[in-house]
Every structure is written in C-alpha cells, then in structure tokens.
Chain A
Amino acid sequence: MSDWRTRGKTSLSAAVLAAILALPILGFQLSETGTGLTVLARLHTVAWVFVAVGLGSFALTSARAIKWPSIALPAQTSDRLGWALAIFALALPFLPFADRSLIDKATLILIYVMLGWGLNVVVGWAGLLDLGYAGFYAIGAYSYALLAQAFDISFWLCLPLAGLFSALFGLALGFPVLRLRGDYLAIVTMGFGEIIRIVLLNWQSLTGGPNGISNIARPTLFGLTFTARALDGGKTFAEALGIPYSANQRIFFLYFLILALALLTNFLALRLRRLPLGRAWEALREDEIACRSLGINPTNIKLSAFAIGAMCAGFAGSFFATRQGFITPESFSFIESAVIVAIVVLGGMGSQVGIVFAAIILVGLPEWFRDLQNYRMLAFGLTLLVVMIFKPSGLVSRRSPTIVLKDPA
C-alpha cells in the first residue's frame, strides 16, 4: 500500500474491474427509431467510469497511506464543543446570513439530531440495534395529528400524550423481542417498523390510509397563533407584540421549538446516563451475563431503554406533524430508520456531539445538494464511505466516564 507502484496497480485493477462491470450496465442504450429499437453504444461512459474509478482509487489509497494526525477530542473539549454548538444554535436565527431556507434546513437537521439522541439511548448505550425507530416516530406524529383533530387539544397537551403513547408502544413492542440480540433483534425491529407503517397505510377509517392526515393544527405560543389573521377571538403573535406579521415568525418559532425539544432530550439522556439506570444500560451492552450475575434484571433495563428511546421519537414525531401540517405513512418508511441509525453509528455510538455532526453531514448536506437532484443520494453514499474509511469507529468515538473518582491516588 505504501509505495506508488502498488497503489497504481491496485487502482488499475479497480478501474479495469469497474469498466468490465460498466460495459453491460452503462455501455449500451436502447433508443427508439421510428418503429423499432436500435442499440447505441455509449463506450465513452465506460471510459469515464474507467478514468474516474482509477483516479478515485489512487487518490483514496494515497490518502490512506498518509499518516493523518489523529483528532481524538479529549473529554473536556468535547464538552466545550457541545456548549459552543448549543450557543451557536440559539444564536443562529439572529445572525445576518440566516434566511428562511437556512432556518428551515436547520429545523430539519434538528429533528434528526433529536431522533439521533433518542435512538442513541437504545443503540449507542443499551447496545440494542433497533432498525424500526421510524415506527415510533410515526406513532408520535399520528398520535398528535389524531388527538388534535378528534379532541381539538392544543399542541402543548398533545406533545406529552404523544410521547407517552409512543413510550407505551415501545414497551409493548420491546417486550416480545427482548430475548433477541444483535442481528436478530435488528431484523425483528425492522419488521415492527414496517408493520406500523403498513397498519397506518391500511387502516383507512382512522388514519386516512395513503392520503394521510392534513390540516393538522399548528402550534401556538401561550395561545398566540402564528397566522396572518387571528382565529375566532384569539390573538396572533404579531398582534400581541405589536409588530407587523411575517411568515418568518412561524419558521423561527418552529426552529426554537425543536431546539428546545432537542435540548430537553439531550439533557434528559445525559442525566439518565449518569444515573444507575444509565450505567446499567451500558453494562448491559458490555456484558449481559455479568449483569445478571450482579442481580440486574435485563428485561427491565432493556424495556426502559426502549421506552425512553420511543418517547423521544414520539416528541419528534409530534413536532414533525405540527411542522408539516400534513402527514402520510410515506414519511416513515424504512429509509428513515436507516438514516437515523446511520446518524448514531456515524456519530460514534454513544457520543451526543458526534450525533450533531453526523446529522449535519447526513441530513444537511443532501439538502444543500438538492440542486443535484438524482445525484443527491450519491453524495449521501459518498459521505458514508468517506467516514467509514477514515473514522471507522465514528466521528467522536471516545467514551467519557459517567462518574469519576476525584482523588484516585
């Protein structure tokens, strides 16, 4: 790997292999000519693949040959970085370059940060690979939408109810899968996630099926709405403050709302991690048999992780529903679960700060590359590959102890 000759050989063989594969896949095109079809050779695409893979492989092997300085963050820096990020997030809407689309993207990223933090409890700490997390996200969203429509309850009352409902589902679905570990658990949770989506899709009378639920109530701030004109007897935010109405007010309000929810999730999760329950989660991930021998009932510990993770997804789901104003089962497909798991894994399995960066990379970048249209997912895949090659254990893989003996010597 070290000298350029072997690297050149590796790259050449990779390029030849790619070209062979590209020849039948990309090398020919059917085109309509009058009544028949003719086969057009597109050998230049094969040449492009050959050159691109060759150069790419050479660049990659060269980059790996270089001894990169390790950027392992000490625990303190990681903490400080977290605070800096939180302050930046609070200040973001007031910065001069913050326009509507930026705040909208930041809101989306924060939803995934919150989901990542919730799933981190299950996957990163308790070590239970859950591939059906979007199911709980869906339950939160539908709970809010249905409760708000059927009983006309405000967002602030629905939010805890949706969280509670999701947590209950987390318990109910967690219970039968507790004996499973690793791959088997992943497959079964994936199945549960799909079952939830398919039930939502087919329970036409309750959920509206594929048409989803529309006109979901928007959130209010102490009864103040963020609309241009107040609804029957109420007051709008702009009227109350005596400022002119602007559509940005609602966007900014939603941003602060999800920021508050995300920070609350983070606070709860970090606090729990330092309690006996959190240490038991991590101990369970490390060695379940040792946990049993110390009198820890693994069922309770796993269920608590499942329930708390599901609750966070429920909160995020309510927010998603109220932000979109319209939900369908399409929004909660398996790819959502996969993205959230990818965020947790990329972040470093257990690192709260790592998850923020991972969410920015995995959700933010594709948003900015929206102009690339179909090639957007290529950027997504490329990011995953680059991180896996250069930081195989995640962006921030250092584990900070939950408790420290002050004067050990």
Chain B
Amino acid sequence: MTLLTVDNLGITFGGLVALDSLSFTVPKGQITAIIGPNGAGKTTLFNIITGFYQAQTGTITLHRDAGPLVLNGKPDYWIARHAGIARTFQTSRLFPRMTALENLLVAQHNRLMKASFFSLAGLAGLAGFKKAERDAIDKARFWLEQVGLTGSANVPVGSLAYGLQRRLEIARSMCADPALLCLDEPAAGLNPKESLELVDLLALIRSRFGATQLLVEHDMSVVMGLSDKVVVLEYGRKIAEGAPQQIRHDPAVIRAYLGEPPDEDIPVDIAQDLDKC
C-alpha cells in the first residue's frame, strides 16, 4: 500500500540541477529513509514535498482513503493542513519564548480555530470550545509523556536542552495527527544515547500510531536500524532504492559514499566497517 508517489520530480536553482527526474514511492505505515552525500538534494526534496518549494517538473501524489491528491502547486500551509504532511527541520524550529504546552497547542491550531468559531465562540467562552481546548490539552499532555517532557510543560522551550528540543519538535508534529511525518535529520547533533532514544521514539510512532515516516538522516545506525526502505540520492538523482540490507551492499551506493576505488576492491577495513553498520 503506497501513501506517497513521487514521479519524475525535477528542480533547478539557476544552473544547478538539485533534483533530476526523481521517482520513488513511500509505503504506508513504514519508515522510508532518504540518504545521500551532502548536497544530494535530500532537503530540497523535503521542501518540495512539504510545499516550501515548487517543483519544475513531475508530480507528487498523496494516496488517501478519499482518493489521490496531487500536491503540486499547493502552498506549504495548505499541504500541512489538508494533506496532513507534517515536518521537522534540520535545526529545530520551535517557538522559543512559548512554553512546551503552548508549542503543542499551536500545532492543533486549525482544529481549535474551528472549534472557537474563529475566536467568537472562544471569546464568549462557549462549552463546545472549552471541551475542544481540554481535548487539545489532553493530546498535548499525551505527547509530552511520550517524549518524556511532561515536567517541562510550562517552561519556555528556548531554555530546554537541544536534545529535548528535537524530541519536542517531533511531538509537536505528531500533535497535528499527520498522515506523513517528514523528519529532516532528527539525529543531527544528538549524542549516542539520545540517538538510541530517538530510534525508540520513531519506532513507537510507527508501531503504535501507524504513522508513515519519511526520514532524511546521516547517522547510518539510525537509518539501518529503523527504516523499512531506503532511497539513495546523489547529485539529485536516485542511485538506489530498496531494503536496508540491499542498499548496504549496492556498489553504486558504496561508490557514492567512498568514491571510485582505484583498481582493486574496497579496502578490507572499510568493507568491515560497512558491514558493521
């Protein structure tokens, strides 16, 4: 079952071809990782899927129960709201002066806005809005528990440790009940222990909430341990796609990461390292 189809996607910035006729699918309820060397176009791909950039060629289609939805040409907030695609950023983009609870409530803005009848019912303090607000707080509390931040609920998030901020950003995306969660290097800047906790959290999101995840990541231990499918990019092109086991031994991938071997095979020690991860 496919949730997202990316077909023949292309974008250039000036003379630079950032993505070139890229096609792949994202299976529903699974974790798909996008890997590739720096500058391969991973974040550009994310920005196109979430509507922050517009693709010059190709289509992105979301397969919902209600029928397929083409995302091309839609603004970013529309995609987040109507297609249910949430994202996190390479460097966390929380609302630093607001508390953790407020951050998670802003993620539920559209639902609450409707419940408050564009603030009118909220101003009048009607029961319907109060109930919706209680539900939203309960949901926020639930996700704070999942990321272990309940104790910091009333603390401005700018004062939290970096690792906690990254977890909170994932919690905030989940508060929007996304159909697809796009994580841009969630393990960047985390220590090994925090990385392990992150893997557990993402695995939990997959198993318990069935959320489909698209993951850009450099940390191979996270990618190999977690993903069901890996797509490898190099210079904006897909060079491999498949299960992590296949990718690990794909010669094109090894070449992309390590360069062309001079004459002989890969040096033994590097081959061993590759097998380890």
Binding site for B on A (CB under 8 A): 268, 271-272, 275-277, 279-280, 282-283, 286-287, 289-298, 399, 401-405, 408-409
Contacts and interface: CB of A to CB of B under 8 A. Distances in A.
A286 B98 contact: yes
B112 to A, nearest CB: 4
Nearest to B113: A276
A401 B102 contact: yes
Counting chain A CB atoms within 10 Å of each CB, which of B80, B116, B150 scores highest?
Answer: B80
A403 B101 CA distance: 8
Contacts of B112: 276
What is the interface of chain B mostly: helix, strand, loop, or mixed? helix
A268 B122 CA distance: 11
Nearest to A274: B122
Given A276-B116, A276-B119, A403-B137, A296 B95 contact: no
B104 to A, nearest CB: 10
B197 to A, nearest CB: 20
Nearest to B122: A275
Contacts of A401: 98-99, 101-102, 154
Given A287-B93, A399-B97, A408 B151 contact: yes
A294 B94 contact: no
Given A399-B97, A403-B137, A409-B151, A275 B77 contact: no
Contact of B106 (A283, A289, A298, A408): A283
Interface size bracket, B side: 35 or more
B105 A276 contact: yes
Contacts of A286: 94-98
A294 B109 contact: yes
List 5 tightest A-B contacts by C-beta distance, closest first. Answer: A295-B81, A295-B80, A286-B95, A276-B112, A405-B153
A287 B157 CA distance: 13
A276 B89 CA distance: 23
Contacts of B113: 276-277, 280
Contacts of A408: 150-154
B212 interface: no
Most buried by B among A271, A282, A297, A402: A297
A272 B116 CA distance: 11
Contact of A403 (B93, B105, B122, B144): B105
Interface in B37-94: 50, 52, 75-78, 80-82, 86-87, 89, 93-94
A294 B98 contact: no
Nearest to A350: B97
B253 interface: no
Interface string B212-251: 0000000000000000000000000000000000000000
A294 B82 CA distance: 11
Nearest to B141: A405
B98 A283 contact: yes
B116 A294 contact: no
A294 B107 contact: yes
B98 to A, nearest CB: 6
A166 to B, nearest CB: 18
B123 A271 contact: yes
Interface string B184-215: 00000000000000000000000000000000
A404 B176 contact: no
A403 B122 CA distance: 14
B109 A295 contact: yes
A282 B93 contact: no
A295 B110 contact: yes
A272 B101 contact: no
